[in-house]
Amino acid sequence: MKRLPIIRDHMDTYVHTLREDVDIYDAIAFLLDNRVTGAPVVRAENELVGILSEKDCLQVLTLGRDGDIARGTVADYMTSSPVTLSPKMDIYYAAGLFLNHPFRRLPVVEDGLLLVGAITRFDLLRAVRANWQED
């Protein structure tokens, strides 16, 4: 191996995203319909402002009152300031984050806020196979 594998080489460049003003029930439907466990929340120009996970969405049950479930928008439920990675980082750093946090997917950003992709634990397993599989 000539250089350390970097995130850019193994990340997904197409990422399902949501906007802050989307109704939380539409966002839940979006996650289910696209079979994703979470989605980055972006503003215009793909500026990352948060992430909405299936765990975040469970709050509609716990924040409701008197048998009614809660209402609101993605902004009311999303995790603000999510952990992010740079596409130039090596995959070892990403693996460490996945081992120490319950995240399944991490957004990849350039210039601090511009969403350029995402990397998953599954992507890292593919990197292991591509770079270290014995013949």
Cα separation, 27 vs 32, whole angstroms = 9
Each residue's pLDDT tens digit, 46-80: 999 999 999 999 999 888 777 778 899 999 999 99
Give residue 45's pLDDT: 86
Burial class (CB in 10 A: 0-12, 13-18, 19+), 110: middle
Report the 3 state secondary structure along 55-101.
HHHCHHHHCCCCCCCCCCEHHHHCEECCCCECCCCEHHHHHHHHHHC
pTM of the model: 0.86
Give the mean pLDDT of 90-112: 91
Each residue's pLDDT tens digit, 15-42: 999 999 999 999 999 999 999 989 999 9
Give residue 86's pLDDT: 95
Give residue 4's pLDDT: 77
Give residue 133's pLDDT: 64
Supply the mean pLDDT for the chain.
90
CATH superfamily to which 7-132 belongs = CBS-domain (3.10.580.10)
Give residue 44's pLDDT: 86
Cα separation, 104 vs 123, whole angstroms = 10
